[in-house]
Amino acid sequence: MAQDVMIDIETWGRQPNGLVVSIGAAFFDLKHQGIDLSFQTNIDPVDAQKVGMYIDAATIDWWFEQDAGALSAFRADRGTMRSAFLALAAFIPGDAQVWARGPGFDLNILRAGFQLLDIECPWKFWNERCHRTFLEDMYRLGVNTDKVDGGLTAHAALDDCIIQVRTMQAAWRNLREKMRCSASV
């Protein structure tokens, strides 16, 4: 059976080879509350540049406008890009359904990083899922899709994963409740 995993990255670039400074991932079950298992790693930006990732000045400017908590989240315990990507590849099983809040951003940049490092991407492209599309579909069904942040730090990779999972799980519960109410009418 496929497993669901949410991925979020923080970068210093927006292009497909944008420099990744932090990766967060969390296994979850849409039908149940909570996170099953999580992953967090930070990457030394100097090492990532040496590998071939690029910095975008506009993205750096954007980071200067963010909360100090988000900035400090990726400054601790930085490792090499290779060690981070190997750890992520080991964390995600090949049959996982991989979710991101824009797979066209997060997953494309990660895929480019795997390619630069000559490491096989652990998920299949046909198992990529979009958090935004899920919530948009729920919204169109009249389901409450309000963000559930629970005091976590926005733009900290693992916290963003948890926020995205909690929001999806809440929307799923709201859909189930809406269906129960409709069935009883």
Q: How far apart (Å, rounded) are the C-alpha atoms in residues 185 and 177?
A: 13
Q: Which domain holds residue 102?
A: 4-133+140-183
Q: How far apart (Å, rounded) are the C-alpha atoms in residues 83 and 162?
A: 23
Q: What is the mean pLDDT of residues 68-87?
A: 91
pLDDT band at 105; cut points 50, 70, 90 = very high
pTM: 0.93
Q: How far apart (Å, rounded) are the C-alpha atoms in residues 2 and 4?
A: 7
HSE-up of residue 160 (Cα within 13 Å, Cβ side): 23
Is 139:175 a contact under the CB 8 Å cutoff? Answer: no
Domain count, the chain: 1
Q: For residue range 114-126, what is the model confidence (pLDDT) as tens digits? A: 999 999 999 999 9
pLDDT band at 185; cut points 50, 70, 90 = low
* CATH number of the domain within which 111 lies: 3.30.420.10
Q: What is the model's pLDDT at position 177?
A: 85
